[in-house]
Amino acid sequence: METTLRGVGVSHGVAIGEVRHMGTAVLEPPAKQIPPQDAKREQGRARKAVEAVAADLIARGNLAGGEAQAVLEAQAMMAQDPELMADVERRIAVGSTAERGVYDAFAAFRALLAGAGEYLAGRVADLDDVRNRIVARLLGVPMPGVPDSDEPYVLIARDLAPADTALLDPALVLGFVTEEGGPTSHSAILARALGVPAVVALPGARELAEGTLVAVDGSTGEIFVEPSAAKRSELERAAAERRAALAASSGPGATSDGHKVPLLANVGGPADVQAAVEAGAEGVGLFRTEFLFLDDSKEAPSEEKQVEAYRKVLEAFPEGRVVVRVLDAGADKPLDFLTPADEPNPALGVRGLRSLLDHPDVLRTQLTALSKAAAGLPVYLEVMAPMVADRTDAKAFADACREAGLRAKFGAMVEIPSAALRARSILQEVAFLSLGTNDLAQYTFAADRQVGAVSRLQDPWQPALLDLVALSAEAAKAEGKSCGVCGEAASDPLLACVLTGLGVTSLSMGAASLPYVRATLAKYTLAQCERAAAAARAADTAEEARVAAQAVLSGE
């Protein structure tokens, strides 16, 4: 009998196939004691397992490239954390086996995170995955992970670790459904990059029996269990129509009445450039530079290395606009040479621009490298700072850019509510704003972007978030300057129309989302987008906002 479940759709498309479950987590190792003379041997086993897992994660990252590489390298750093390793060795010294020492040390660190209010709960899933991989290697059992199958399937899991999501084979994994996660979790972002339909935050997903036929709609978040032939035909027909519309969509982004809305790509490094170019990106709206710095958390990359990497991206968009975000370190992206190790709450501490202003040599080197990388190229380079709180921050960044001799526009990211509320003041110092809706939602609602339990507050349709977007766009218009969106909100085709109606001047997203947004935007006039935006802001909940905007655009 057909039933319908609803989670949070995070990656467009429809997948129809049989359920396969993620490999089970490693069982808890037995708590047996070892004689003192075996301690050194067990400590050596633990160190070798940690190094092997870290190497495997880095290798997976190199294969995946782009955003996935940065995520997996961060996991490798987690595996090699010196404090964790020291705790493992202490436990072995008093009688634990290597696998038990690893298990207990990771459990203690996990408990610390939970005790701190779960502000890093999204990292807990990554931590569990690292632990499971190390323990599996020590026990000599298969790694937990994606099931082996010769036939395509829909993957069901509690959550997906980045190491699993990064290397999913779209030819076999038709789509995936998770019980946890949110619209801006690592798994959701990587799913969009892969173009795999995905639904997250679906309670009870793992209760779906192995082999059950399901249809997954990654746009609506609906899961149809044992769909009828009629329902399958309906979904397949809608998917075919969508593919045809996408194939016919090309050229610059614009509404049906010719209002231009440049559609740009989010890239994590040179590996993401080809997909962006093939998808018709008009430039880059967010070039994350962390990938270079995460290669080695002990020291910053040289100016020469930075110049080489930046130039590869800049060369791909002649005559195009490339917006580079300077290093955003801190919180879930700690760097030994830059971020404090003992912050009680890193997400609210010395992060982003704050870190760079504390280490002006790192900022100066990066700005100089960007200047040299752009030399002689016809690209329109723009450079922006993350985590700008007020005009003082904006001025400090602009001054640093000028001191480095950077010939580019300087901008500020709006990720903190204070920046949206005081956008016009900030624009006295910089030439443009770029809204990072993922972090802006996180800080507006005090809702960690990785925690499935608060995913409704991470929904970019939340009217309060739309109000902050509108404030920023209105301030930019009043100052005659631009205001783009580079957060995941821009990847939702319907929401892209609403953002356009709010006055946003450009939209940047993962390459896989560009055709969907381009095709949808071209259906409606600017006036329709403005009416949809007004209707969404008048709502009280995210779901009501979505429904209200859809009703306006569909003429209901």
Which amino acids are annotated catalytic?
186, 486
Sheet with 8-11, strands from edge to edge, namely 3-6, 222-225, 213-217, 14-21, 153-157, 173-178, 198-200, 8-11
- Helix (H), strand (E), coil (C) string for 474-501: HHHHHHCCEEEECCHHHHCHHHHHHHHH
Decide: helix, strand or coil at residue 16.
Answer: strand
**Which residues of 31-82 form beta strands (DSSP E)?**
none
Q: Are 13 and 219 contacting, i.e. CB atoms less than 8 angstroms apart? A: yes
- 236's tokens: 């397949």
Q: Which of 166, 50, 147 is nearest to 99 (CA)?
A: 50
H helix intervals, 375-462 = 391-403, 417-421, 423-426, 437-445
Integer Cα distance of 114 and 167 in angstroms: 29
CA–CA distance, 207 with 398 (Å, rounded to integer): 53
DSSP string, 514-528: HHHHHHHHTTS-HHH
Residue appearing with tokens 């069982």: 27
DSSP-derived pairing of the beta strands 432-435 and 482-485: parallel
Question: Which value, in Å, is the radius of gyration of the alpha carbons in the chain?
Answer: 24
- Structure-token match 């044992």, residue found: 226
Distance between CA atoms of 8 and 457, rounded to whole angstroms? 12
Tokens of 294: 């995460």
Supply 479's token pair: 């100052």
